[in-house]
Amino acid sequence: PGLSVAVPQRCLSAGPDAPSCWEHRVVLLGDPGVGKTSLANAFAGIQERDLLEQHGEAAYERTLLVDGEETTLLVLDTWEPERRGEESWRRSQCLQVGNAYVIVYSITDRSSFESASELRIHLRRARQAEDIPIILVGNKSDLVRCREVSIEEGRACAVVFDCKFIETSAALQHNVDELFEGVVRQLRLRREGKES
C-alpha cells in the first residue's frame, strides 16, 4: 500500500543511496488536535493564508543554521490515530522512518499527555536497540488558563523517557525554532558519537 498523503517517496528511502539531506527525517507523533500540523507549519514558515494551497502536504522541509552549520530537516506530519485497536501500516511506517521523533501533547489535554507515554513505549518497541533522538513537547503553552499538565510533570516525564523536553506555542511561534534547533543538535551529537 502507498501513502495516501503527499510524502515524496525519496523521503522514505532510508538506504545508503538516500541523499544526505534526507537523513534528517523528523516524525511528529501525538494525539489528534495537539498541534502537530500547526508546529510543522510554524517550522516551515507557512502562514494561515498559504494553508489552503498546502492542503494535503505532510512533509515540510527547511534548512536551519545551528551553531554555524547548516542542516536540512524534513518534518513528517503523517501520524494517524489508531483505528479499532488495529496497528496500521502507516503507523508502523512512521515508527520506522524517523531519524528523530517529536512526541507532542497539549498542556490543555491530560489524555494527550498520557498518550505521549504510550507513544514512547511504541517507539521503544519498534526501534529497540537504536539510540534515536526524542523530544517531548508540551504545546499550546499560550493557553495558560486551560492548563491541565504542569511544566514540572512534563519535565519529570522526559526524565523517565530519557529524552529532551520543551514547551511550545505554535500559535504564538514561541520556542518552535528552539525545538527544531534542539532536534538538529541531538542528531549531531549522535553522529559525532558514531564518528569517534
Binding site for ligand GDP (CB under 6 A): 30, 32-38, 139-140, 142-143, 169-171
CA dist., res. 76 & res. 36, Å (int):
10
Provide, rounded to whole angstroms, the least separation between the CB of residue 177 and ligand GDP. Answer: 14
Provide, rounded to whole angstroms, the least separation between the CB of residue 145 and ligand GDP. Answer: 11
Provide, rounded to whole angstroms, the least separation between the CB of residue 182 and ligand GDP. Answer: 17
User: Which of 105/161 has CB closer to ligand GDP?
Assistant: 105
Q: What is the DSSP string of 181-196?
A: HHHHHHHHHHHHHHH-
* Residue in the shown chain whose Cβ atom is closest to ligand GDP: 35
User: Which of 21/46 has CB closer to ligand GDP?
Assistant: 46
User: Which of 115/139 has CB closer to ligand GDP?
Assistant: 139
User: Which of 118/131 has CB closer to ligand GDP?
Assistant: 118
Provide, rounded to whole angstroms, the least separation between the CB of residue 173 and ligand GDP. Answer: 9
Rg of the Cα trace of the chain? 16
